[in-house]
Structure 1
Amino acid sequence: MRRVAALSVTAALALTATGCLSSGDDGGGGSDTVTVWTSVDQPVSDGLEKAVKAKADADGIKIDWQRVENINQLIMTKIQANDAPDIAMIPQPGVVADIVRRGAAYPLDDVVDMSALQSSMVPGTLDAGTVDGKLYGLLISMNIKSLVWYNKPAWEKAGYTAPESIDQLNALTDQMKKDGNTPWCMGIESDTATGWPATDWFEELIMKYGGPDVYNQWVTHEIPFDSDVVRQAAKEFEELMFTEGNVLGGQKAISSTNFGTAGNPMFEDPPKCWMYKQGSFITGFFPDSTTSDLDTNVGVFGFPWATEDQKPVLGGGDLGVLMSDSDNAKKVMGYLSETDIGNDAAPNSSFISPHKDFDMSLYPNEITRQVADVGYNATTFLFDGSDQMPGEVGAGSFWKEMTAWISGQQDLDTTLKNIDNSWPS
C-alpha cells in the first residue's frame, strides 16, 4: 500500500530541480559500485538484494543497496542536489514521469531486452512506466488490488461459490442476505489517508465498466469525474455498500471503520460479514489465528468482470528507474529485468513477480499463487489510478470527497463536481 507515502508527493513535486543526471561515478560510490534505492517491504527488499548481489558478484560489480523511507519525496531532493542513486525503485508512475520531466532518468529501451519482456510480463505492466513512448520505469514487484477475500471454511459450509461477473456478485450479495448473513465487510478509515479504499473501489468499477482506454482517459482527466462511466461505478458501489443490511455496521460505519481491521469479523464463528475487497497486502492485517494457516482459513477470488472480453486487473508495484548512464548501472538494471530476480524474495515475503513465466512453486502458499494467477490471467494490468493522478487529487480531493459522500455529508453530484474542480489547470 502506497497511500500514506503518496501524501508527501505533492510537496515533493513542488521542488524546483536544478540537478542533472548522475554519471557512473556520482552518487554511486565509484565506477564499480551501483547504488540502488527502494522502499519495498523489508522481506521483499532482502530477497531482491540477495539476488541482485549474486548476479553482480559474477560481473565484479559492487552493490550499495539501501532501503529508504519516503522515497518519492527524497528522490526529488536528491535530484535537486545532484546526488541521486544510480537506480531507484519508485512506487508511483506519476513520480517516474516527473523524474523524466526533470531530465533525471535514462530510457530503458536499449538497456533491457524489450522483446523478451513483452512476451514475459503481464500485458500492461510495461505501459505503467512508459513516458512519451519510451520505457523509463520497469515494474519489478507487483501487487494485485482486484481481489475479494472470504472465510474459506464458512463459505464451503454455506455452499457459496466465487462469482464470475458483476451480475453474479450482486446475486451472491442478495443470496447471503436472504440466508441471514451480512455480505460485506467495509472500512475506509486510515488516519490522514482516510478514504483511499473507496478510491480503489471506484478504480475497479470504472476499469471493469469502461475498459482500459476509458480508464486511462479518466485517470488523466480527459474524461471527468462527473461522467457516465463514473456514475455507473457509483451506482454499483451504492447498491453493494449503501443497501440496508449489506455492510457490517451499515453505511454510516464505513467511514469510521479502519481498513486494516475491517475484514477481521469474517473470521469469527459465525462470520459477522462474508466478503472484503482489498489488495494482496491485506492478509498481513488478518488475525494471527487466521494467518497461521492461510491456505486453510482464507479464500480469495478476482473481482469479477463486467464483460467477458474485457478482463483488466488493478494493481500497483515498484518501478525501477535508471538514473545513471554507467555501464555497471545498466547491467544491474538488466538483472532487475530478469524473471528470476524474484527467486529469493518470493518464498519469504509478499513479493509477486510481474513475469507470467515466474516459477509459481516459489510462492510461499497457495493463496499467493491464487493472487498471482489473478494477475497472470488478466487481459491488461492497469496501475492504481489515484497513484497516477496529481497529488492534490489522487491523494487529496478524491479521498476527501469519497469520505464525505459515503458518510452522508453530501450527495454524489456535489462529490463529483468538487473533485473535478480540484483538478490542477
Structure 2
Amino acid sequence: MKAQRIAAWLAAVVLGVSGCSASGDDAAVVTVLGPWTQDEQTAFLRVLDGFTRETGITVRYQGTRAQNQVLRGDLQQGTPPDVAVLSNPAELARYARSGELKPLDDVLGTEAAEAFSPQWLKLQQLGGTVGYAVAVKADLKSIVWYSPKTFAGPAPSTWDELVALSRRLAAAGQPPWCLGMGAPPNSGFPGTDWIEDILLHRAGPAAYRGWAAGRLPWTDPAVRDAWQRWGELVLAPGAVRGGSTAALLTTFSDAGKALFTAPPGCALEHLGSFAIGGYEHAGRPDRDFRFFPFPGAAGGPSEVSADLAGMFRDTPAARRLMAYLAGERGQRIWPSGGTTFSVHRRLLGQDVYGSDVTRRIAATLAGGTGLCFDASDLMPSAMTSAFYQAVLEYLAHPDRLDALLEQLERVRLGLPREQWLDLPC
C-alpha cells in the first residue's frame, strides 16, 4: 500500500511539473504573422526584441507577403498565430464578426484613447464600438516625391497644374513619372493608389467614402473620371520611360530608383511614405528627396494606410504584446530608423523623426484629422483583387475602360453587404 501511495505521489509530481512547463511555455512564447520580409522584417524584429528584453517573452515571427492567405489557412486548420498583422481592415472586421479576432478594450485600457486620435481609434474599432486592432505603423499616400536636383518647384496645387507640369517635363525630354506596378501577390496596387487619390480630391470625401464602402457604383461618372484622369496623365507620350509596358514590367520598389540616376530616368513619383525605405539607399531626406502634397491634399483630406495588428489567441503573452505594440515604448522603436511612421500622438515633438520630410509626414498621420483610409484596403478581398487586376488591364488596354468598370461593378454587386466596411473620411 505504501509503495502504491509513493507511486501515486510521484505520478502527481510528474504531471504537475509537466503542466507547469506547458503553462510556462504558453506564457513565455508568442507567435506573430506579419507582412514584412528582408529589411522591413529586420526593422520589425527590433521592435519585438525590445518587447522580449522588457518582458522575457520570446516572440516567433513569420514574415510573408501572402499573410492573408497564410492566416486563412492557419485558421482553417485551427492553428492561428497569437497575433497577426494585416493591412486590410475589412478582412479583420470579418474575423471580428466570426469571433476569431479577439477584442482589445480590456487589454489596452485607457492609454489607447489618449495615444490615438478619434479617427484612428474608429479605424482600430473596425467601424464598431469595440477595439480590435492596433495600428503598428502607418503611411501617408497623398504625396508626390521628387529630387530637388531635378525639380526645383513651385509645387503644383491643383490637378491642372500637375498635368501642366507633367507636359512641360515630357516636352523637355524628361519623363515625368516613375511608375511600376509589380508587387506580387498585390501587383497593381500603386495604380489603385493613384485612382483613389484622384477620386478623393476631385469628387470629395463623401463620394470617396461611399465608393470605399460599396455604395457608389464603379460605373458612376466620378469613378470613371478618376480612371480617365490617371490615364491622361501617365499614358501620355513621354510620361513614363518605356510607356505602359515598362510600368507593367517594373516593380514598384525599382521604379523610384530612376529619380537618382544620372541623367534622371524620371522626375516625380506618386507613392506612399514607405518609399523612403528605398530612397535612403540613394540619398538623404531633405537634401536628396522631398515631397509635395497631392493636389488638393494641402489643407484638405489625405489618403492613408496602416498595418494593423490583431489578437487571434487570447493568451497572457499575446495580451502583453498587444499592449506593448500600442504603447509609447513599442511605437517609438521602429520610427527611430527614419523610414516608418507611428500614429501615436505622444511621439510628436520628441526626437523620433530626424528630418523635415519625416516630421511633416508624422505630423499629418498622428494628427488624425481629414484622413481617408486607403479604399482598396477597406474593400472586401475579392473586390480588392479585382481592382488590382483591372489596373493592370487598363494600362495594357486603356480602350477597354468601360468594360473593366462594368466587370468591377458586377463584382461589387455580387458581394454581401456585411463584407463592406464603412469608415469616416
Q: Same fold (TM over 0.5)?
A: yes
Q: Deviations over 1:293-351 (max 9, x none)?
A: 4442212223232685x32222232x121234445543432222112313222233632
Q: 1:166, 1:306 within 8 Å by CA — same for their partners in 2?
A: no
Give the equivalent residue in structure 2 for 1:305.
Answer: 296
**What residue identity is the alignment partner of 1:51?**
G
Give the equivalent residue in structure 1 for 2:103.
Answer: 107
**What residue identity is the alignment partner of 1:186?**
L
Q: 2:218, 2:408 within 8 Å by CA — same for their partners in 1?
A: yes
Q: What is the rounded CA distance, in whole Å, between the counterparts of 1:326 and 1:193 in structure 2?
A: 32
Q: 1:51, 1:343 within 8 Å by CA — same for their partners in 2?
A: no
Once the two structures are TM-superposed, the CA of residue 202 in structure 1 deviates from its matched residue by 1.0
Q: What is the rounded CA distance, in whole Å, between the counterparts of 1:73 and 1:238 in structure 2?
A: 32
Once the two structures are TM-superposed, the CA of residue 190 in structure 1 deviates from its matched residue by 4.3
Give the equivalent residue in structure 1 for 2:49.
Answer: 50
In the TM superposition, 1:15-414 aligns within 5 A as 29-31=25-27, 33-40=29-36, 41-57=40-56, 62-69=57-64, 70-114=66-110, 116-122=111-117, 124-131=119-126, 132-156=128-152, 160-177=153-170, 181-190=174-183, 193-251=186-244, 253-286=246-279, 288=281, 290-291=282-283, 293-305=284-296, 308=299, 310-317=300-307, 319-327=308-316, 329-348=318-337, 350-359=339-348, 361-363=351-353, 365-376=355-366, 379-395=369-385, 397-408=386-397, 410-414=399-403
Q: 2:140, 2:361 within 8 Å by CA — same for their partners in 1?
A: yes
Q: What is the rounded CA distance, in whole Å, between the counterparts of 2:125 and 2:109 in structure 1?
A: 15
Give the equivalent residue in structure 2 for 1:21.
Answer: none
Q: Deviations over 1:361-388 (max 9, x none)?
A: 2236554334334434563333332233
Q: 2:32, 2:61 within 8 Å by CA — same for their partners in 1?
A: yes
Q: Taking structure 1 as reference, are residues 47 and 165 closer, same or farther at Cα in structure 2, changes over 3 Å only?
A: farther
**What residue identity is the alignment partner of 1:43?**
T
Q: What is the rounded CA distance, in whole Å, between the counterparts of 1:187 and 1:121 in structure 2?
A: 33
Match of 1:417 among 383, 406, 413: 406
Q: Deviations over 1:48-81 (max 9, x none)?
A: 1133234425xxxx24342343432333333334
Q: What is the rounded CA distance, in whole Å, between the counterparts of 1:230 and 1:134 in structure 2?
A: 32
Q: Taking structure 1 as reference, are residues 236 and 258 closer, same or farther at Cα in structure 2, changes over 3 Å only?
A: same
Give the equivalent residue in structure 1 for 2:10.
Answer: none
Q: 2:146, 2:290 within 8 Å by CA — same for their partners in 1?
A: yes
1:336 match: secondary structure: helix
Give the equivalent residue in structure 1 for 2:18.
Answer: none
Once the two structures are TM-superposed, the CA of residue 394 in structure 1 deviates from its matched residue by 0.9
Query: What residue ranges of structure 2 are gaps of 5+ in the alignment?
Result: 1-20, 416-425
Q: 2:304, 2:373 within 8 Å by CA — same for their partners in 1?
A: yes
Q: Deviations over 1:10-56 (max 9, x none)?
A: xxxxxxxxxxxxxxx99993345544443432233222113323442
Q: 1:109, 1:135 within 8 Å by CA — same for their partners in 2?
A: yes
Q: Percent identity?
A: 26
Q: Taking structure 1 as reference, are residues 344 and 283 closer, same or farther at Cα in structure 2, changes over 3 Å only?
A: closer
**What residue identity is the alignment partner of 1:197?**
P
Q: What is the rounded CA distance, in whole Å, between the counterparts of 1:379 and 1:254 in structure 2?
A: 33
Q: What is the rounded CA distance, in whole Å, between the counterparts of 1:258 and 1:298 in structure 2?
A: 20
Computing the radius of gyration over CA atoms, which structure comes out larger, 1 or 2?
Answer: 2
Q: 1:27, 1:85 within 8 Å by CA — same for their partners in 2?
A: no
Query: How many pairs align?
Result: 388
Structure ranking higher in helix proportion: 2
Q: 2:231, 2:398 within 8 Å by CA — same for their partners in 1?
A: no
**What residue identity is the alignment partner of 2:145?**
W
CA-based RMSD:
3.1
Q: What is the rounded CA distance, in whole Å, between the counterparts of 1:261 and 1:167 in structure 2?
A: 28
Q: 2:274, 2:340 within 8 Å by CA — same for their partners in 1?
A: no
Give the equivalent residue in structure 2 for 1:12.
Answer: none
Query: What residue ranges of structure 1 are gaps of 5+ in the alignment?
Result: 1-24
